[in-house]
Amino acid sequence: MLATTALLLTAGCSSGGGSGGGGDSTAPRGASGNASASEHAAGQAAPAKGSVKVLRTVTTGLNTPWGLAPLPGGGLLVSSRDKGTITKVDEKTGRKTELGKVSGVSPAGEGGLLGIALSPDYAADHMIYAYFTSASDNRIVRLLYDAKKPAGEQLGAPDTIFKGIPKGYIHNGGRIAFGPDKMLYAGTGESGNRGLAQDKNSLGGKILRLTPEGDPAPGNPFADSPVYTYGHRNVQGLAWDPEQRLFASEFGQDTWDELNAIKPGDNYGWPDAEGKSSDPKYHNPIAQWHTDDASPSGVAYAGGSIWMAGLKGQRLWRIPLKGTAASADPQPFLEGRYGRLRTVVSAGGDKLWLTTSNTDGTRRPEVRRRPNTGAAGRLRNHSSAASSRRGGRTTTFPASRSIGPRPGSLSPTSSRVSSSLFFSSRVCLRPGAKSSSKTLNIAFPSAAPSSGDQPVAVPRREESPSVGHRRRLSSS
């Protein structure tokens, strides 16, 4: 089967000497990547070209990994969509420890245990927030994490802070994150009911902004409402730049996937607009992709750019920024090498965490051999935790060429692994510095490269799910 993997990456930027479009290259190790955040925050455009190098596979064998939350004292929390569990991964050894199962999760289709986030006061309260699909809706809960208890018993009972988000077999959204303002943001989907996205009295097809207790956050654009923006189809990625500006990824249907700069109260167009629109009442994306090239899920900010994981596109996109606009064409990396990419998270400094998603049932892999050549959704009364317990410009990019492993390297899509986490480190050059482009080398622990034929996973063509709209197959 295809790898579902956790990767450690080095992802960076150069001043123009790197490879273009589909290159997987690295800047010199001596280049500095830590000054870029302040430089770009001052308004300077990020370099047009970037680089990525996969440093190592952190762990494999994860089951439908979806959310990822690094712990402040070390370790990574990973949610399993279909098992409804949260697992801690030791980022140094790859050892996995199951914290426990989140009760109330009802996985089906694209629903299940989705995004997770640590409380902004985690050092004091040890709370984990989770977005999941229940038997009746999508909801957000918080759970106490007690590492002193035995494995499998470390999660407390879920405390529901927010409920009533419409659920569906498809388009459940699911990404949650605490912003710089310590408010909780949640990306939701329209659950296959397109009209919900434009209905400001519905929670479907929205970005929500909540207090940690689940109330509508102070300063929201609509009075007494958790709705922050509307007109979305299926939001699965949220990230902020150093200037506290929010960016979100958006699944399109047949034509355009999007990266949006988020402005409170704005209408992002769905279902009336997909991608760039000439209608001024809709907020246009800062970048858009053909749906085969992206199907975006998680996003992260690093080095003046947004990094976006692609599911159907099976690549990691870098979108260089100047303010809230794309300053150059997005650049793809890791094209087809690790299959579907679900979540990308900053690992601090010049590093990124990246998870794959090849056991999510959307693609059914088969092993071949080849030469090694390279609820109704209406807005409800949202009570506090206590009462809950009682009840720019658009840049368009064409399809990019997929590339295989370099000769003599171990195929990252080896049939020996099922799900994984990777680590990438970013090396960013200041403008004017020289860079040397190199073919990406991926070293897998305890696995020797092979120069002969290798068993690799080749996904069959996606089959139409039981529900969907028009021609677009669901890829989330």
Q: Is 222 exposed, middle or buried (0-12, 13-18, 19+ CB in 10 A)?
A: middle
Position 43 scores a pLDDT of 73
**% of residues, the chain, pLDDT over 90:** 64
* Predicted pLDDT of residue 350: 77
If pLDDT is split at 50, 70 and 90, which confidence band does 25 have?
A: very low
pLDDT at 427 over 90: no
Alpha-carbon dihedral sign for residues 140, 146, 147, 152: negative
Q: Worst-scoring range by mean pLDDT, 67-81, 242-256, 352-366, 385-399?
A: 385-399
Between CA 403 and CA 195 the distance in angstroms is 39
- Widest pairwise Cα distance in the chain: 64
Q: What is the pLDDT of residue 363?
A: 52
Q: Is the pLDDT of residue 294 over 50?
A: yes
Closest CA to 187 of 238, 226, 149, 151: 238
Amino acid at 22: G
Residue 153 has pLDDT above 90, yes or no: yes
pLDDT at 419 over 60: yes
Pairing of strands 287-290, 395-397: parallel
Q: Which of 4-8, 287-291, 321-325, 471-475 has the lowest mean pLDDT?
A: 471-475
Residue 19 gets which letter from DSSP? -
Would you place residue 47 in the very low, low, confident or very high pLDDT band (cuts 50, 70, 90)?
very high
Contacts of 199 (CB under 8 A, 6+ apart): 230, 377
Q: What is the mean pLDDT of residues 382-392?
A: 36
According to the model, what pLDDT value does residue 11 have? 61
d(CA 85, CA 98): 7
Residue type, position 364, single letter: R
pLDDT of residue 474: 53
Flag whether pLDDT at 448 surpasses 90.
no
State how far the alpha carbon of 36 is from the alpha carbons of 20, 209, 428, in Å. 20, 29, 7
Residue 384 has pLDDT above 60, yes or no: no
For residue 208, give every residue at least 6 positions away whose Cβ sits within 8 Å of its Cβ, in sequence order, or none.
162, 165, 185, 186, 188, 226, 227, 228
**Helix spans in 7-154 (H):** 36-41, 122-125
Is residue 328 predicted with pLDDT exceeding 60? yes
What are the b/e assignments for 107-123, b being 16+ CB within 10 Å? Answer: bebbbbbbbbbbbbebe
The model's pLDDT over 211-243, given as tens digits with 9 standing for 90+, comes to 999 999 999 999 999 999 999 999 999 999 999
* Whether residue 405 has a cis bond before it, omega within 30° of 0: no
| Cβ partners under 8 Å of residue 386, min gap 6 | none
Distance in angstroms (rounded) separating the CA atoms of residues 130 and 86: 10
Least reliable range by pLDDT among 201-215, 283-297, 321-335, 387-401: 387-401
Question: Taking 80 as the threshold, does the pLDDT of residue 443 lie above it?
Answer: no
Which residue is it, tokens 């159907």? 312
d(CA 12, CA 350): 7
Location of structure tokens 């289709």: 109
Confidence (pLDDT) at 13: 58
243: alpha, beta or left? (left if phi > 0; alpha if psi -120 to 50): alpha
Alpha-carbon dihedral sign for residues 217, 222, 227, 232: negative
Calpha distance 53→315 (Å, rounded):
13
pLDDT score of 381 more than 80: no
pTM, two decimals, is 0.78
CA distance 312 to 253: 12
Of 47-61, 133-147, 237-251, which range is least confident? 47-61
Question: What does the mean pLDDT of the chain come to?
Answer: 77
Residue 157: pLDDT over 70:
yes
Mean pLDDT to the nearest integer, 2-14: 56
- 349 pLDDT band, cuts 50/70/90, is confident
Q: Which pLDDT value is given to residue 406?
A: 33
Q: Which residue has the tokens 């010049």?
A: 350
Q: Which residue has the higher pLDDT, 67 or 1?
A: 67
User: For 6-374+392-459, which CATH class?
Assistant: mainly beta
Reported as a pLDDT band with limits 50, 70 and 90, residue 42 is: low
Q: Are 18 and 27 in contact (CB under 8 A)?
A: yes
Residue 76: predicted pLDDT = 97
Instruction: State the Cα–Cα distance between residues 363 and 460, nearest whole angstrom.
Output: 7
Mean pLDDT of 41-56: 86
Q: What is the per-residue pLDDT for 452? A: 29
Question: What's the rounded mean pLDDT across residues 43-51?
Answer: 90
Q: Which residues contact 259 (CB under 8 A, 6 or more apart)?
A: 247, 248, 249, 250, 285, 286, 287, 288, 296, 299, 306, 308, 319, 326
* CA-based nearest residue to 130, from 147, 145, 144, 117: 117
Mean pLDDT along residues 124-132? 98
- Whole-number Å distance between alpha carbons of 72 and 49: 31
| Least confident stretch, 90-104, 408-422, 428-442 | 428-442
| Residue 337 pLDDT exceeds 70 | yes
CA-CA distance, 261 to 283, in Å (whole number)? 9
Please give the residue that has the higher pLDDT: either 421 or 143: 143
Question: Which DSSP letter does residue 145 get?
Answer: B
Kindly write down the DSSP assignment for every residue of 115-171, as one continuous string. Answer: EEEE-TTHHHH-EEEEEEE-SS-EEEEEEEB-TTSPTT--B---EEEEEEE---SS-
In the prediction, which pLDDT does 348 show? Answer: 86
**pLDDT average, residue stretch 155-174:** 98
Q: Map residue 385 onto helix, strand or coil.
A: helix
By the 8 A CB rule, do 35 and 41 touch? no
pLDDT tens-digit profile of 106-127?
999 999 999 999 999 999 999 9
What are the extents of the domains in the chain? Answer: 6-374+392-459
**DSSP annotation of 214:** S
